[in-house]
Structure 1
Amino acid sequence: MARYIFITGGVVSSLGKGLASAALGALLQARGYTVRLRKLDPYLNVDPGTMSPFEHGEVFVTDDGAETDLDLGHYERFTGVSARRSDTISAGRVYSNVLDKERRGEYLGKTIQVIPHVTNEIKDFLAIGEDEVDFMLCEIGGTVGDIEGLPFFEAIRQFGQERPRGKVILMHLTLLPWLAASGELKTKPTQHSVKELRSIGLQPDVLVCRSEQLIPDRERAKIALFCNVRPDSVIPAYDLKSIYEAPLAYHRAGLDRAVLDAFRISPAPRPDLSRWEDVMDRLTHAEGEVRIAVVGKYTELEDAYKSVSEALTHGGMANRVRVRPEWIAAEDLEQDDGSHLLDGYHGIIVPGGFGERGTEGMIAAAQYAREKRVPFLGICLGMQTAVIEAARNLAGISDAGSQEFDPAADSGRCTPVVYHLKEWVQGNRKVERKPDDAKGGTMRLGAYTAVLKPGSLISRVYDGATEIEDRHRHRYEVDVSYRDQLEAAGMVFSGMSPDDRLPEVVELADHPWFIGVQAHPELKSKPFAPAPLFADFVRAAKEQERMV
């Protein structure tokens, strides 16, 4: 049976619970333990799939097709453990499950209440796969005191009481604000946050305290005294230059030791931190710098492209070069002579997105990269806009467009080289969709295989592989019926679905490095195992930098 670590937050949001959870998971792995990380979100959306990127940042997709919070991306990047649908749940999903059971009569006519029915549903979720790993780390979204989070806090209180003694601990993150006027770190917000936890029956075993200033020993002792934890279980968490320094920084601060002590695991296995020492060596000893233009629809919020940003960093590590992504709003390229905004970059990425806004700017970015022979990587919508650009300017289909952002595509006034996907094969079953279906969870989601063309650039990137598997999240596809026309113009369809119906990868035959992929390879990239496509893209950008 797994040991459980519940991670909660107080005082303010965005303290870094996800990063602390991921770093702790990595440290437990370094000591030889197996881990799985989970996220419990109190919001009432069933999942983040229908949320705006401006509202919630990136939607992270798992192999089995779950649309999840971006924190699951942190978990994967730090531990290498592939997240599953069973690693995330929201209040919306919990209540939906409970109400579905009530409608089916599974509660035998009982009155349905938060306790025990909602809390039981949460506890059942927590217990999934508990015999598979040594440690289960479960992060509770939001902060203590949030009204929507109360059922989750009550559920973990009950869960801790029902498990054998010593099998469950609580780690709580708080903020120690610095008041410049008095020149003091204030511990009172942390004390009140812990008091709030204790009022609902939860006592933290480990406190992680975020601070911009060094936390003196006397302040740590004060926090320990008033919050009823051991002094060596008050762990300082300071701002870092890179998130990938977190495992080493938390180890130096004693986090993993405090957690194992709370479980009375002694002596603990010695940690092997060589993986993270190598990661930091590659980050801090970069040889040169490349500038990458990321032309997207949601560039005002970098978290909307969190995995792309991190995959670029990983690609830089693989090439021992510092990658500086610069965010360019696609709409800005739609202005007169907007393409000059791309001058001086060593590579261009057009990432995914939804809707018509900014798509002509994305098409302009693909045209610029093609004509100027700048390394180009188009992802999902980025691939589709690259195909539209090639169709218009190479294949002579001057009215090429997409059913997604061109309503005229359905009336015959333009040529939809990108169409709404109505059916596809997933495993051994056929999936069917209609344009007017409900939006949540209805896209082509999860891991799918692409069969690669021998000798193609994409095949060389993957060391001669004939098949690759990456995660998808889209409902529009390039129409394979235009394949011959586009290939005659120089755009190679170098990756196809196993049934040869869905284009997965395109590239330009006479370009140094130009690839578009329907999938999202950034989702599987890790600092110690960079996504091959991003590693080779950065390599090509590095060569471009030498030529400029």
Structure 2
Amino acid sequence: MENQYNGKTKFIVVTGGVISGLGKGVAAASIGALLSNRLKVIPVKCDGYLNTDPGTMNPTEHGEVYVLDDGGEVDMDFGHYERFLNVVARSEWSLTMGKVFKLILEKERRGDYLGHTVQFIPHVTNAIKEHFFEVANKENADVLLIEIGGTVGDLENQFFIEAARQLSHEVGNENCMYVHLTYVPIPSGVKEQKSKPTQMSVRELNERGIYPDIIIARCEEFLKPHIKEKIGLFCNLPASHVISGVDVKHVYECPLVYDKEGIPEILLKKLRIYAPPKLDTWSRLVDTMNRNDSNPRKILNVAIGGKYTRLEDSYASIVESLNHAAAHLDVHVEIRWIDTEKLEQHPEEVEADMQGIDAVIIPGGFGTRGIEGKVVLIQYVREHNIPFLGICYGMQLAVVEFARHVCGMKDAGTMETESSKHHVQDPVIAYLPGQDKIKEMGATMRLGGHDVMIRKDSLAEKVYGATEIRERFRHRYEVNPQYVEQLEKGGLVFSGKAKNEDIMQIMEIPGHPYFMACQFHPELKSSLLHPAPLFLGLLKAADERA
């Protein structure tokens, strides 16, 4: 193999069973959070789908696309990794089966296999292991945290599981451990914790040659001692290695639960790594969140207007960013989802939708569906002085709304709606240079981290406390430079611009309690310990107004 084990890195492999959606990403990130105080923990996510990345997937099918600083479009679990581990993730930490097959075919065409028949084993599994070692060596990782997507038994993740099995054989049992996330249901009829699904899931994992060192069992409540004993007996591990993955109000409780359940001691015993967790500030913020859930100092009602509202995972990072800011401001946020497609058909309902709302967010998105509903919503919050944050497409539509209703450009719009049947008379939002020639969909937008220069004495400078920041982008359109002067004459302020480029990145309206919009995605850099400034500013303004 090209990349070999460095003799230093410890490997923790996280798999899942019984049902999907149990939260393997949160579980893996929580284990990493327990170690990251003293050790360099690097996460790798293995996804079985044949897309090279999730960039072209519909958010209602796969959840939000998480964008990294280096421009990589990756699975939303990377949001958990960055927020829990305090790392800036890289594209190569995401490994899809599409990437693996593409690599294998490229190597075969180059003649790297010297005429051998290319087979799933050893060539595909070797390529996967080589990738693990390459990342571990390049990052000088103390711990490589490998999450295998899907559930045991899924056809598409079998080569990842086989590679994980071989990993222990290659690096030594003392350098590799397996964590399996399962489900312990409590059927309403019997009201008793049932261990059989866990037993069957672990048996299926055993059939593939992996014997978990830790079982984390998701359940509505902490596992009863006799259930831990039963799972341990049938799954061939001590009862103390069966962990209660109890349902929590906020995912940030998971590291605290795992700490109390004894995972650090198991890691020390198995992998000989001593890294006592340091979670004091983390614990205090979680306590604040939990207290405000039951006995809030103040409730702020925040509306999120979009077209993917039937799957909240489409806006997962926005929800988390609100939670982060709320914890620091000691408030509780209630989210009201507004389907802007419905609002587009019935704009007269905007007043009813806005009853009791303290702040509004228009998130990013693509396409033409629901955009006129978003414009209706933006006009209402601008005219009624409701704190507002527009993100990416939300900023572009805020510009469209301002152009139409303040600057008198009744036909202002975005080139995103341009078609053979519809001509945009005043394209205040246009293609970024060169984007109109691109035909492929994947990884072709302006992606990743870019520097933003902030105008002095602006609200943006006050919010960020800086005149130069770095944020993450994912867009194909921009504010049309030909209209900037006219928009600013009307009272709009572009308070953030790209460094060395004439691309508008932040807009605000002076005199409004809080009308901010940005071309980037501030939610992608927010964390519990360091909330995104624009979300913090939004909730501060909403708190003062309320």
Alignment TM-score, normalising by the size of structure 1? 0.94
Return 5+ residue gaps in structure 1 as ranges: 424-432
Deviation at 1:409, TM superposition (A): 9.6
Q: Kindly tell me: are residues 281 and 192 of structure 1, through their superposed partners in 2, closer, same or farther at Cα, counting changes over 3 Å? A: closer
In structure 2, the residue matched to 1:518 is 519
In structure 2, the residue matched to 1:248 is 256
1:164 to 167, 172, 175: 172
CA distance in 1, matches of 2:121, 2:340: 49
CA distance in 2, matches of 1:434, 1:124: 38
The residue type equivalent to 1:141 in the other structure is G
Q: Residue 300 of structure 1 aligns to a residue in which SS? A: coil
Return 5+ residue gaps in structure 2 as ranges: 1-7
Deviation at 1:141, TM superposition (A): 0.3
* Number of aligned positions between the proteins: 531
| CA deviation map 1:421-452 (0-9, x unaligned) | 233xxxxxxxxx44452101111110011111
In structure 1, the residue matched to 2:350 is 339
CA distance in 2, matches of 1:108, 1:228: 43
1:447 to 446, 449, 460: 449
| CA deviation map 1:146-182 (0-9, x unaligned) | 1111110111111221113411100001112223434
Q: Residue 136 of structure 2 aligns to a residue in which SS? A: coil
Deviation at 1:477, TM superposition (A): 1.1
Please identify, of 373-382 and 205-214, the stretch whose mean Cα deviation from structure 2 is larger.
205-214
2:85 matches 1:75: no
Deviation at 1:242, TM superposition (A): 1.4
1:94 to 89, 96, 100: 100
Please identify, of 95-104 and 471-480, the stretch whose mean Cα deviation from structure 2 is larger.
95-104
In structure 2, the residue matched to 1:142 is 150
In structure 1, the residue matched to 2:5 is none
In structure 1, the residue matched to 2:23 is 16
Deviation at 1:109, TM superposition (A): 2.5
Deviation at 1:542, TM superposition (A): 0.5
CA distance in 2, matches of 1:74, 1:24: 11
**C-alpha contact 1:379 1:519 (8 A) present in aligned 2:** yes
In structure 1, the residue matched to 2:283 is 277
Deviation at 1:110, TM superposition (A): 2.1
Q: Residue 130 of structure 1 aligns to a residue in which SS? A: helix
**C-alpha contact 2:59 2:308 (8 A) present in aligned 1:** yes
| CA deviation map 1:296-343 (0-9, x unaligned) | 121111100000000011111121111112110112322141221123
Q: Kindly tell me: are residues 408 and 469 of structure 1, through their superposed partners in 2, closer, same or farther at Cα, counting changes over 3 Å? A: farther
Note the aligned Cα RMSD (angstroms).
1.6
The residue type equivalent to 1:231 in the other structure is A
**C-alpha contact 1:285 1:320 (8 A) present in aligned 2:** no
**C-alpha contact 1:450 1:468 (8 A) present in aligned 2:** yes
**C-alpha contact 1:209 1:236 (8 A) present in aligned 2:** yes
CA distance in 2, matches of 1:435, 1:56: 28
Q: Residue 181 of structure 1 aligns to a residue in which SS? A: coil
**C-alpha contact 1:206 1:259 (8 A) present in aligned 2:** no
2:356 matches 1:355: no
CA distance in 1, matches of 2:377, 2:99: 39
CA distance in 2, matches of 1:488, 1:146: 58
In structure 1, the residue matched to 2:43 is 37
Describe how 1:52-71 pairs up with structure 2 within 5 A. Answer: 52-71=58-77
2:215 matches 1:207: yes
**C-alpha contact 2:35 2:276 (8 A) present in aligned 1:** no
Please identify, of 79-88 and 330-339, the stretch whose mean Cα deviation from structure 2 is larger.
330-339
In structure 2, the residue matched to 1:191 is 199
2:425 matches 1:418: no
2:379 matches 1:379: no
**C-alpha contact 2:104 2:127 (8 A) present in aligned 1:** yes
Describe how 1:143-542 pairs up with structure 2 within 5 A. Answer: 143-265=151-273, 268-286=274-292, 287-334=297-344, 335-340=346-351, 341-407=353-419, 411=423, 414-423=425-434, 433-463=435-465, 465-542=466-543
CA distance in 1, matches of 2:244, 2:449: 39
**C-alpha contact 1:504 1:518 (8 A) present in aligned 2:** yes
The residue type equivalent to 1:18 in the other structure is G
Q: Kindly tell me: are residues 178 and 281 of structure 1, through their superposed partners in 2, closer, same or farther at Cα, counting changes over 3 Å? A: closer
2:52 to 33, 46, 51: 46
Q: Residue 353 of structure 1 aligns to a residue in which SS? A: coil
CA distance in 1, matches of 2:519, 2:422: 22
2:38 matches 1:28: no
**C-alpha contact 1:244 1:279 (8 A) present in aligned 2:** no
**C-alpha contact 1:279 1:317 (8 A) present in aligned 2:** yes
Q: Kindly tell me: are residues 410 and 500 of structure 1, through their superposed partners in 2, closer, same or farther at Cα, counting changes over 3 Å? A: farther
| CA deviation map 1:18-51 (0-9, x unaligned) | 1111111111124x22211121001111111111
The residue type equivalent to 2:446 in the other structure is R
Alignment TM-score, normalising by the size of structure 2? 0.94
The residue type equivalent to 2:426 in the other structure is T
Deviation at 1:58, TM superposition (A): 0.5
Q: Residue 185 of structure 1 aligns to a residue in which SS? A: coil
CA distance in 1, matches of 2:156, 2:341: 37
CA distance in 2, matches of 1:522, 1:167: 36
In structure 2, the residue matched to 1:5 is 12
Deviation at 1:193, TM superposition (A): 1.4
CA distance in 1, matches of 2:541, 2:500: 31
Deviation at 1:281, TM superposition (A): 2.9
Identity percentage over the alignment?
Answer: 44
